Structure 1
Amino acid sequence: MHTYLDRIIAMTLKELKQLLRDPMLLLIIAYFFTADVYMAGSGINLNLRNAAVMVIDNDHSAASRELIYRFRLPYFHFQGEVTGKTQAEDLLNKGKILAVLDIPENFQQHLLQGQATAVQLQVDSSNTVLGTLASAYATQITADFGQDFVTSRLGLTNTETAALPIIENRFRVLYNPNQVDGWFMSISELLTVITLLSMLLPAAAAVREKERGTIEQLAVSPLSSLQILLPKVISMGLVILLGVAVCLFCIIIPLFHLPVKGSFGLFFSVTALYVFTTSGIGLFIATISKSMAQMTMLGIMLLMPILLLSGAWTPPEAMPSAMRMGMTISPLYYYNEMSYAILLKGAGIEIVWDSLLGLSVLGLVFFNFGVWRFRRQFG
């Protein structure tokens, strides 16, 4: 047993020394855990901001000007008036603006007479997220305008308005009360980086042995398949855990002011298990790749479904049943569930145990499959 562990430690040190001799790879790893996460957290906004909007005002009344004034920052950025629908559609087609507000003739007159009137909003929905947000904000703006106009028309005071029976919608935003996009995006990018590196780094270490012709020497040595592959996972896992620590304590927490509610020990333990799980996928990639280029392309090919089935961007309830079944074999799905629960909700192992169990099962299956493939190829 002592000799067995000595061999694993010696091979792990060998892998770390090889990594330290590759400054470009170290630079890439450092970039992913620092600049990449920072840009994702600070540069991506999931809310509507400064959406360019122009107006076709066919009424030019006080009421139309009041409605136009409400399409203002921070959600909308009023860009001026266009003369007709042809010019408006041309601007929409060219992507110069996001929306056009079309106010009909006699808009104010119809309102004063108590007649129903409608305004039209043409939205560029080539980006469905922005289009949906613009429609939702515009609906809220016009509804508030209509309510305020009716209240003013009836001559109701603020006291009388407050006395009217209304349905009040009260809600609480938990875990991210200010809805800071940087919290979600920085964590999401960190988890993506961990997934990418934990797949590609062990695979790259194994493929490098193939390209240099040393894998055959290791295969005929007294080392077992596990003693050859496990040190690659351990060494790269240690590097990834170090990168996660740097990212959390030097980027996410100080720059985005993320209030970590849960246990760092539990988060790093879950991360170590996740690295072990996805490393099994990387080892499988290494056994079927003949070069670094093949390994990289296969890694990217497998990375995309793992990300899409993680539940980070589309909730499981919105997916087709076949896609929801596919999420059960995506390790990132379980890791996402646990990471956000631990970091933002302060969840303990008594809450995340089911996801932890699912990730553990996948880890054993993936890693053993990778070792079996290696043993079959070089055994």
Structure 2
Amino acid sequence: MLSNIFQLGLKELRSLQRDYALLLLILWAFSLGVYTAASSMPESLHHASIAVVDEDRSALSQRLVDAFQEPYFRTPQRIDLAEMDRGMDGGRYTFTLNIPANFQRDVLAGRRPAVQLNVDATQVSQAFTGAGYIQSIGLAEVSEFLQHYRGTPAQAAELQVKVSFNPNLTRAWFGSVMEVINQITMLSIILTGAALIREREHGTVEHLLVMPVTPLEIMLAKVWSMGLVVLLATALSLLLVVQGWLQVPIHGSLLLFLGATALHLFATTSMGIFFGTVARSMPQLGLLIILVLIPLQILSGGTTPRESMPELVQQLMLAAPTTHFVSLAQAILYRGAGLSIVWPQLLAIIVIGSLFFLAALLRFRKTLAQMA
């Protein structure tokens, strides 16, 4: 039995070796896919374009212009009033600030002059946050100008903020690891489902039916071979892309994480086989995966915290292996958790994976019986 499982698994690996489209997908997903997902997640305000119409030309207006600095803003562009609307309409500036004439004189006289801020709200990721930044910076600069010194008044109480596990709040640290986790789930389902569809399209399923192998042996062969491919790609991605290219520190044990990944792959490859028995072609398999994969990734806690979701959704997603895998992956890779902390999630993945495997095996046997 072990020999059959091993030889059938080698056959799956040889078939994958000839499928250049899937090989390219694996290579891209665990390299450029991870890098782009991490680097394309901008900070709350990062290199926002800003232009200033300075009609005052005073020391205070110059102070306001100089206050907008990197990395939050690009170097402010000085423009005239006629160019302000054209720049906003053309999408060249996210923010344009119009400082009126006699601004400094009115501030010193206590007349409370108004400064016009135009915001391109189509830049959703930065528009609203940036408007708040600009207002805060402007008020601070005017206040310090009137007080003739730069400083923070003493407060009755002080809040000490300590940021753990990601002291600089770098979003790339979160985005890269979460993308690796998403790719593990996606590729394991796609590879096993595609392997079954490929055999049906090439007619090799009929060859398996006349061989002295059982449906269990065929399934286990697909599980270990496709799981091994994803596991190796995961290890290389964490070492070369996450730690090497993106310089993201990994605090926990990689061996413990890879062991947990192997258990998770047992569940997701079983799901892929189940979908492969339901779908009749690659396009149908793709549609099924989209319908299942998007909720698994969005509602498992990898995109938003589960605590912010409705209670019903939280309870329903406990039946998904991705929920427990995301939880233990964050605990191991971010917080350096050990086996004594993540064993409940490991146990849940084993139970859920076993149920998925049994369901896929029953469906696979039924499919083979119909073809015999």
CA deviation profile, 1:54-93 (whole Å, cap 9, x unmatched): 2344544322221122122221121223416xx6455434
Q: 1:40 aligns with which of 37, 41, 44?
A: 37
CA deviation profile, 1:111-145 (whole Å, cap 9, x unmatched): 22345454343323334322233134224312422
Moved more, 99-108 or 341-350: 99-108
| CA distance in structure 1 between the partners assigned to 2:353 and 2:278 by the alignment | 20
Q: Indicate how the Cα distance of structure 1 residues 323 and 141 shifts in structure 2: closer, same or farther if over 3 A, else same.
A: farther
Which residue in 1 is equivalent to 2:65? 68
List alignment gaps of at least 5 residues for structure 2: none
| CA distance in structure 1 between the partners assigned to 2:18 and 2:328 by the alignment | 35
**8 Å CA contact 2:173, 2:248 repeated in 1:** yes
Instruction: Please tell me whether residue 19 in structure 1 is matched to residue 16 in structure 2.
Output: yes
Q: 2:79 aligns with which of 63, 78, 81?
A: 81
Instruction: Please tell me whether residue 364 in structure 1 is matched to residue 354 in structure 2.
Output: yes
Which residue in 2 is equivalent to 1:130? 126
Cα deviation, residue 242, structure 1 = 1.0
| CA distance in structure 2 between the partners assigned to 1:324 and 1:91 by the alignment | 46
Which residue in 1 is equivalent to 2:232? 242
| CA distance in structure 1 between the partners assigned to 2:123 and 2:88 by the alignment | 12
Q: Indicate how the Cα distance of structure 1 residues 178 and 207 shifts in structure 2: closer, same or farther if over 3 A, else same.
A: same
CA deviation profile, 1:220-271 (whole Å, cap 9, x unmatched): 6443322211210110111111111211222222222332221122100111
CA deviation profile, 1:303-343 (whole Å, cap 9, x unmatched): 22222223233233443445444543443332222222211
Scaled by the length of structure 2, the TM-score of the pair is 0.87
List alignment gaps of at least 5 residues for structure 1: none
| CA distance in structure 2 between the partners assigned to 1:147 and 1:166 by the alignment | 20
Cα deviation, residue 197, structure 1 = 0.8
Moved more, 280-289 or 369-378: 369-378
Which residue in 2 is equivalent to 1:206? 196
| CA distance in structure 1 between the partners assigned to 2:156 and 2:117 by the alignment | 28
| CA distance in structure 2 between the partners assigned to 1:316 and 1:162 by the alignment | 38
Instruction: Please tell me whether residue 113 in structure 1 is matched to residue 106 in structure 2.
Output: no
| CA distance in structure 1 between the partners assigned to 2:206 and 2:118 by the alignment | 65
| CA distance in structure 2 between the partners assigned to 1:98 and 1:148 by the alignment | 26
1:68 partner letter: V
**8 Å CA contact 2:60, 2:142 repeated in 1:** no
Which residue in 1 is equivalent to 2:217? 227
2:25 partner letter: I
**8 Å CA contact 2:296, 2:322 repeated in 1:** yes
Cα deviation, residue 295, structure 1 = 1.7
| CA distance in structure 1 between the partners assigned to 2:202 and 2:315 by the alignment | 41
Q: For residues 246-261 of structure 1, what are the structure 2 equivalents within 5 Å?
A: 246-261=236-251
Which residue in 2 is equivalent to 1:5? 2
Cα deviation, residue 208, structure 1 = 0.8
1:293 partner letter: P
Moved more, 210-219 or 239-248: 210-219
SS for the counterpart of 1:311 is: coil
1:342 partner letter: I
Q: RMSD of the TM alignment (CA)?
A: 2.7
Instruction: Please tell me whether residue 186 in structure 1 is matched to residue 176 in structure 2.
Output: yes
SS for the counterpart of 2:69 is: coil
Which residue in 1 is equivalent to 2:343? 353
Q: Indicate how the Cα distance of structure 1 residues 168 and 32 shifts in structure 2: closer, same or farther if over 3 A, else same.
A: same
Q: Indicate how the Cα distance of structure 1 residues 123 and 265 shifts in structure 2: closer, same or farther if over 3 A, else same.
A: same
**8 Å CA contact 1:309, 1:330 repeated in 2:** no
SS for the counterpart of 1:76 is: coil
| CA distance in structure 2 between the partners assigned to 1:345 and 1:367 by the alignment | 31
Which residue in 2 is equivalent to 1:341? 331
Q: For residues 144-223 of structure 1, what are the structure 2 equivalents within 5 Å?
A: 144-152=140-148, 164-165=154-155, 167-219=157-209, 221-223=211-213
**8 Å CA contact 1:33, 1:247 repeated in 2:** yes
Q: Indicate how the Cα distance of structure 1 residues 125 and 376 shifts in structure 2: closer, same or farther if over 3 A, else same.
A: farther
SS for the counterpart of 1:55 is: strand
SS for the counterpart of 2:93 is: coil
SS for the counterpart of 2:97 is: strand
**8 Å CA contact 1:54, 1:82 repeated in 2:** no
Scaled by the length of structure 1, the TM-score of the pair is 0.86
Moved more, 320-329 or 62-71: 320-329
Q: Indicate how the Cα distance of structure 1 residues 174 and 286 shifts in structure 2: closer, same or farther if over 3 A, else same.
A: same
Q: 1:55 aligns with which of 48, 52, 72?
A: 52
Instruction: Please tell me whether residue 101 in structure 1 is matched to residue 91 in structure 2.
Output: no
**8 Å CA contact 1:41, 1:182 repeated in 2:** yes
**8 Å CA contact 1:309, 1:326 repeated in 2:** no
Cα deviation, residue 297, structure 1 = 3.2
Moved more, 117-126 or 258-267: 117-126
